[in-house]
Amino acid sequence: MQIHNLTEKNSILNTFISELRDVNVQKDRMRFRRNIERVGEVLGYELSKVLNYTPSDVKTPLGKSRVNLPQNDIVICSILRAGVPLHNGLLNYFDNSENAFISAYRHHKDNPEDFEIIVEYLACPNLDGKTLILADPMLATGQSLVSTYKALKPYGTPKEVHLVSVIGAKPGVDYVKKHFNENTHLWIATIDDELNDKGYIVPGLGDAGDLAFGNKLQH
Ligand SMILES: O=P(O)(O)OC[C@H]1O[C@H](OP(=O)(O)OP(=O)(O)O)[C@H](O)[C@@H]1O
Ligand SMILES: O=c1cc[nH]c(=O)[nH]1
Ligand SMILES: [Mg+2]
- Three-class HEC string of 55-77: EEEEEECCEEEEEEEECCCEEEE
Please state, in angstroms and rounded to a whole number, the distance separating the CA atoms of residues 145 and 102: 11
Q: How far apart are CA 160 and CA 173, in angstroms?
A: 18
Indicate whether residue 84 lines ligand 1 (CB < 6 A). no
Ligand 1 contacts CB of residue 141 (under 6 A): yes
Question: What distance in angstroms lies between residue 79's CA and the mean position of ligand 1's atoms?
Answer: 8
Q: Is 200 in the pocket of ligand 2 (CB under 6 A)?
A: yes
The number of C-alpha atoms within 13 Å of 217 and in the hemisphere containing its C-beta is 1
Cβ of 140 below 6 Å from ligand 2 = yes
Distance CA 150, CA 148 (A): 5
Domains of the chain, earliest start first: 2-53+70-209 (3.40.50.2020)
Q: What is the pLDDT of residue 109?
A: 75
Establish whether residue 172 lines the binding site of ligand 2, counting it when its CB lies within 6 angstroms of any ligand atom.
no
- Integer angstrom CA distances of residue 149 from 122, 125, 126: 11, 14, 14
Average pLDDT on 110-123 reads 82
State the pLDDT at residue 48. Answer: 98
Peptide bond into 125 cis (omega under 30): no
CB 138 within 8 A of CB 115: no
What is the mean predicted confidence (pLDDT) over 54-74?
A: 98
- Phi-psi category of residue 145: left, alpha or beta, with phi > 0 → left and psi -120 to 50 → alpha: alpha
- The answer on pLDDT for 111 being more than 90 is no
Do residues 201 and 141 make contact, with C-beta atoms less than 8 angstroms apart? Answer: no
Q: What pLDDT was estimated at residue 56?
A: 98
Ligand 2 pocket, residue 194 CB under 6 Å: no
Separation of 12 CA from ligand 3 center, angstroms? 26
pLDDT above 90: residue 200: yes
- Counting from 1 in the atom list of ligand 1, the atom nearest the Cα of 140 is 1
Mean pLDDT for 80-103 is 97
Of the listed ranges 61-70, 113-122, 125-134, 199-208, the one predicted with least confidence: 113-122
pTM here is 0.95
Task: Provide the ipTM.
Answer: 0.96
The stretch 30-44 carries a mean pLDDT of 98
Contact of 159 with 130, CB cutoff 8 Å: yes
- Residue 219: the pLDDT is 63
pLDDT interval class at 117 (50, 70, 90) = confident
Residue type, 218: Q
User: Are 131 and 159 within 8 A, CB to CB?
Assistant: yes
Give the ligand with the smallest distance to the CA of 171: 1
Condensed to tens digits (0 to 9), the pLDDT of residues 16-30 reads 999 999 999 999 999
Q: Select from 39, 77, 106 the residue to mutate for testing ligand 1; criterion: most ligand atoms less than 8 Å from CB.
A: 106
pLDDT in tens, 154-176: 999 999 999 999 999 999 999 99
